[in-house]
């Protein structure tokens, strides 16, 4: 494998890994991982694109200078990105908004199953809370959207 990827470390920080190496060490916590086995939020041959993706994921900002790079980042796995943002967010209200918006963008309307794919343990509780707080509504039974 070659190229570069953005990966979330178990310490909660995002970092860039070089996929031509078999293993890498997190500069923040020192944990060593096998590059093939880690979750990759964004993969590209261009190191600059990967760095821009990292900046975007960290600051939730889209770099604007290169439309080509911007397009590739937008096409990065939207589900992994959603899961990452959801997990990283510690504010429960904001978490629900990220989830509701993300799932609506991905699926149009979403189900409890879709919520559970992001948060297996709390899915049911989170969905109920989103309905109660009118973050989502239920246009048809069992299907939700913002």
- In the complex, least distance from residue 52 CB atom to Zn ion, rounded to whole angstroms: 21
Contact 3, 19 (CB under 8 A): yes
DSSP classification of residue 119: -
- Cβ-based nearer residue to Zn ion, 54 or 115: 54
- Cβ-based nearer residue to Zn ion, 25 or 106: 25
Closest residue by Cα to residue 86 from 56, 51, 110, 117: 117
Q: Which residues from 3-42 bind Zn ion, rule CB under 5 A? A: 9, 11, 26, 28-29, 31
Instruction: Collapse the DSSP code of 141 into the 3-class scheme (helix H, G, I; strand E, B; otherwise coil) and give the result.
Output: coil
Instruction: Collapse the DSSP code of 46 into the 3-class scheme (helix H, G, I; strand E, B; otherwise coil) and give the result.
Output: coil
- Cβ-based nearer residue to Zn ion, 15 or 85: 15
Q: Which residues from 86-145 bind Zn ion, rule CB under 5 A? A: none
By rule CB under 5 A, what count of residues binds Zn ion?
Answer: 6
- Cβ-based nearer residue to Zn ion, 33 or 112: 33
If one counts every other C-beta atom within 10 angstroms of the C-beta of residue 60, the result is 10
Binding site for Zn ion (CB under 5 A): 9, 11, 26, 28-29, 31
């Amino acid at each position: 494998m070659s190229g570069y990827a953005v990966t979330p470390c178990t310490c909660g920080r995002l970092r860039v890994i070089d996929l031509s190496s078999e293993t890498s060490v997190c500069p923040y916590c020192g944990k060593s991982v096998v590059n093939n086995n880690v979750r990759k939020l964004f993969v590209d041959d261009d190191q600059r694109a990967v760095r821009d993706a990292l900046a975007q994921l960290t600051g939730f900002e889209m770099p604007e200078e290169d439309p080509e790079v911007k397009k590739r980042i937008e096409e990065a796995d939207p589900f992994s990105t959603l899961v990452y943002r959801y997990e990283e967010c510690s504010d429960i209200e904001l978490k629900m908004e990220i989830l509701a918006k993300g799932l609506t963008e991905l699926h149009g309307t979403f189900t409890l199953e879709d919520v559970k794919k992001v948060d297996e343990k709390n899915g049911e509780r989170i969905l109920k809370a989103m309905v109660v707080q009118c973050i989502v509504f239920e246009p048809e039974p069992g299907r939700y959207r913002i």
